[in-house]
Amino acid sequence: FLAEEKYVKLEHYFVDGTKIEANANRYTFVWGKAVVKHKAKLQEKVKTLFATIEETEKQEEREHGNQDLGELGEAAEITSEKLETAVKKLEERLQEKPKDKPLKKAVRALRKELLPRLQKYEEHQTVLGDRNSYSKTDKDATFMRMKE
């Protein structure tokens, strides 16, 4: 049909089993180990960001007492819900002191970049379940990866 309608010319047709990969759906797979690794790096980044926020808060405000971000905890795993509540508390603090640039920068980074990435990784982990990988286009199917 395609040859009759002149969509395809059959002068470059090979029947030797050659596979040609299209670039359109190249990265539609999610690897479980990569999700775990990237999520751990993101959590470490969030912890260091909160540590710097606490340090600047201690330097700036000695009279307000201990207002640290202890709800996240050092050893506890950071979830998107915990991060969301911490960002809301930081935004309330920012309402009190709107000229605090490091806090404003940290809140912006948490809200715009880190929180959506953490939510994406959590979604990937729920879809993965016990598997090692899944395809983004068909979450129930396994996929075949061609050798380069």
Phi, psi dihedrals of residue 3, rounded to the nearest 5° = -70, -40
Residue 34 near residue 133 (C-beta atoms within 8 A): no
**Overall number of domains in the chain:** 1
Does 143 score more than 60 pLDDT? yes
Q: Which of 5-14, 40-49, 50-59, 139-148 has the lowest mean pLDDT?
A: 139-148
Range of the domain at 56: 29-135
In a domain, residue 80? The reply is yes
- Give the pLDDT score at 76: 67
Give the span between the Cα atoms of 34 and 5, in whole angstroms.
Answer: 45
**pLDDT tens digits, residue range 93-102?**
888 888 878 8
Instruction: Give the list of residues 6+ apart from residue 74 with CB closer than 8 angstroms, or none.
Output: 47
In a domain, residue 22? The reply is no
In a domain, residue 82? The reply is yes
Q: Is the pTM of this model over 0.75?
A: no
- Give the pLDDT score at 41: 94
Residue 115 near residue 84 (C-beta atoms within 8 A): yes
In a domain, residue 24? The reply is no
In a domain, residue 5? The reply is no
In a domain, residue 54? The reply is yes
Q: How many Cα atoms sit within 13 Å of 122 on the Cβ side?
A: 14
Q: Which of 6-10, 35-39, 121-125 has the lowest mean pLDDT?
A: 6-10
- Give the pLDDT score at 39: 94
If one counts every other C-beta atom within 10 angstroms of the C-beta of residue 112, the result is 9
Does 130 score more than 80 pLDDT? yes
In a domain, residue 73? The reply is yes
In a domain, residue 13? The reply is no
- Give the pLDDT score at 74: 57
| Share above pLDDT 70 across residues of the chain, in percent, rounded to a whole number | 74
